[in-house]
A and B are shown apart, each in its own frame.
Chain A
Amino acid sequence: MASASCSLLRLQPGSTGSIYRIEGMNPILRRRLADLGVSEGVMIRLKGKGPFMGPITLECNGQLFAIRRKEASMIEVKVS
């Protein structure tokens, strides 16, 4: 089965992908994400997008959190 990778932002709200690559992100943010268990190979779900181009809400390992769209665009996911 072919699976394409795309930016996390392209996911439909409510759908899930597995993290393929995280690149170019602010190192502080990268570390904090790692603290939350967000790293390559982990399943991540896009929960919703905030108002006025605000942060997007994500769920990973049962944990809800939010980051800005600009940063979320650096997370590449694979959707099968």
Chain B
Amino acid sequence: MSSIALVGNPNTGKTSLFNTLTSSYEYVGNWAGVTVEKKVGSLKNGAGKLIDLPGIYSLHPLSRDEGVAAQYLIEETPEALINIVDASQLERNLLLTLQLLEYGKPIVLGLNMIDVANARGIQVNPEVLQAQLGITVLPLIARTGKGSSQVLSALEKPANIRPVSFQLDYGELVEEAILSITNKLQQIAGLPNLRWVSLQLMEQNPVVLELLKKRMDTSELMLICDACQTKLQQQKLALTLPQWIRSIRMDHIRSVCAAAIDATKQKPHNLTERLDSILTHRFLGLPLFIVFMYAMFKTTFDWVGGPLSDLVDGFIGGPLSDGANSLLQTIGASGFTHALIVDGIIGGVGGVLVFVPQIFILFLMISFLEDSGYMARVCLLMDSTMERMGLNGKAFIPFIIGFGCNVPAIMAARSIEQPKDRMLTTLLLPLMSCSARLPVYLLFAAVFFPAQQATAVLAMYVMGVVFALILCKLFSKHLFKNESSIFIIELPPYRMPQFKTLGRSTWEKGKGFLRKAGTIILAGSVIIWLMSYAGPSGFNVEMDNSFLAKFGGLIAPLLQPLGFGTWQAGSTLVPGFLAKEVVVSTMNIIYHAPDSAGLEGQIASVFTPLSSVSFMAFILLYIPCLATVGVIKKETASWKWTFFSMGYSLVLAYAVSLVIFQGGRLLGWS
């Protein structure tokens, strides 16, 4: 099996191309010692595997994402590369292309978005480009799939792709230095193209330097680079070596573009201009964004998601439970099996499956915002607020994704350039109400605030955001002193997301939830049911005498001041740490509720409106779930920060719930 890597700048349509070229689709994590998310798919024609690397501007990494791509090219050896470039942004895109050409592997250039370029009056001549670069250039419209069959057939046999023999002349001084560096590198086995490694070293690519340091003493190499740089300065050619290399490349790119592009009829981006004049308007922008968010929540919970969830609930509580009941009776199942299946499994897992429609709708809308190009504008709008809190606007995207699930959100924080901003975002992300906490809010809101469900749920989300902002200010002041944050964001032109791509990314995000329902929630439900079924005195005991009650009773006194000092509430918290989805299924089992109406009735009698708010706040803030803790550990590579994130959230949750409950009582609420 051969592997082919898909490389290109961000927003050039790599994912669209990846989706059209591959049939199966998988995420591969944990690669080469760091958590990495590179997507691997099988090529439709069976020619091998296609690897989708994160979007990069150059091989010199700034953010963690870019580090992944650079490291891949250095440490693994793909058989061939597909470099996808945006035809309307060719000049900028070619900088990466040149670095890839120097890499020396067979490469196919996918000239994407020729329709967009044409619409803007930019004509790119693929034949001229092909002649200028010496590689196969295939015009593409990845969004519609046009041209992808040509790419597939070009990849049929990677061995048939023309090998590259591209070499730029960097001038006498630099060429001399390259020669002496390659001589020194010859003693090390397993390096890719030596000229490429030398050039990357001269550009001070940290990944290359790191790799070489592990294998040899690099001080001599650095001396060569320094000497070369000094000579460049003496001759007044450039201030630094990387600058010189870049300028040589830019000169070459300009000459390539001058030959291959006709931009005489270039027009401005009309749709984007018009939309931006409204959506990023200095006064209208933010209010509009808030309106969109409100509409998003309304759609998820009231307009579409709610009714769909009711349908699912009706099915599980009605036909499914009844069917299972009568089936079990017919086959004469024992009381234990019967209770296990109906109360444990259907009650537990079913209670969570009810929320699947809402979660998928939320993910669908988040994907829409990402793909349309609006998300980048949101970062822009939010930057001044975020900056005041000590972060940058780019952290806003992970925070929004965090509403879906904290795990991919923490991974999304990788696109942030600065380590400090990345760490802060990672630490604060668990305060975003993920979809797993949503069932809890929905349940309590339905019981205690039926008239203002969406508002009540939204209030919990806002509470998380407010605490995130406050803590952000606090942490950035006291934990990360003297580190300023920077902000730069590319604003892609607006486009209508493709239905297929939307579906696929929604599914990718949401399937984790379904998988959890089948594994951890199923297992959790069974264990909790068993603990409620069994007690010190044997099986089928009264719930109040069960192991679960005993266990919850241990925690209950601690929770007394918060307003929910019952063993029932206490025993939901521990499985809730494993996965917050389990909280509601635990309640289903504890309260023996056949459907949500039954559970709601039970809860109405146990909680008061005030204690329900206190409980929701606790569920929102206390300890991130196990999966999130795992990702925090991987991304921060530090136990200290991992425990810190668990500790501060627990303290925060306790303090906030205490203030809510005791404060509310002082005000005379119940």
The residues of A with any CB-CB pair to B shorter than 8 Å are: 26, 28-29, 31-37, 39, 47-55, 57, 61-68, 71
Contact = CB atoms under 8 A, between A and B. Distances in A.
Contacts of A71: 486-487
B91 interface: yes
A48 B478 CA distance: 34
A51 B266 CA distance: 30
Contact of A55 (B62, B283, B418, B487): B487
B272 A67 contact: no
Contact of B381 (A26, A51, A62): A51
Interface in B39-71: 57-58, 60, 62
Given A49-B282, A51-B384, A64-B491, A35 B89 contact: no
A50 B57 contact: no
Interface of B: 57-58, 60, 62, 88-89, 91-92, 95, 120, 246, 250, 266, 269, 272, 276-277, 280, 282-283, 285-286, 380-381, 383-385, 387, 393, 417-418, 484, 486-493
Nearest to A48: B280
A62 B384 contact: no
B276 A57 contact: yes
Contacts of A34: 246
Contact of A37 (B92, B387, B393, B488): B92
9 contacts: A32-B57, A49-B282, A51-B283, A51-B381, A52-B385, A64-B491, A65-B491, A67-B487, A68-B387
A51 B286 contact: yes
Contact of B384 (A28, A29, A55): A55
A50 B418 contact: no
Contact of A63 (B58, B92, B280): B92
Given A51-B282, A55-B384, A33 B276 contact: no
Nearest to A34: B246
A47 B268 CA distance: 12
Query: Which of A26, A34, A50, A52 gathers the greatest number of chain B CB atoms within 10 Å?
Result: A50
A62 B88 contact: yes
Given A51-B285, A54-B380, A62-B89, A32 B387 contact: no
B120 A29 contact: no
Contacts, number: 99
Pairs of residues from A and B, 9 with the lowest C-beta to C-beta distance, nearest first: A54-B384, A35-B57, A64-B491, A51-B282, A52-B384, A37-B92, A29-B486, A66-B380, A65-B490
Contacts of B488: 29, 32-33, 65-67
Nearest to B380: A66
A77 B439 CA distance: 54
Contacts of B285: 50-51
Given A31-B60, A68-B387, A50 B491 contact: no
A36 B490 contact: yes
B486 A54 contact: no
A9 to B, nearest CB: 15
Contacts of A51: 282-283, 285-286, 381, 384
A52 B384 CA distance: 7
Contacts of B417: 28, 32
B384 A50 contact: yes
A63 B89 contact: yes
A65 B60 CA distance: 20
Given A49-B282, A51-B285, A55-B393, A63 B490 contact: yes
Contact of A61 (B91, B272, B283, B387): B91
A48 to B, nearest CB: 7
Contacts of B88: 62
A28 B62 contact: yes
A52 B387 CA distance: 11
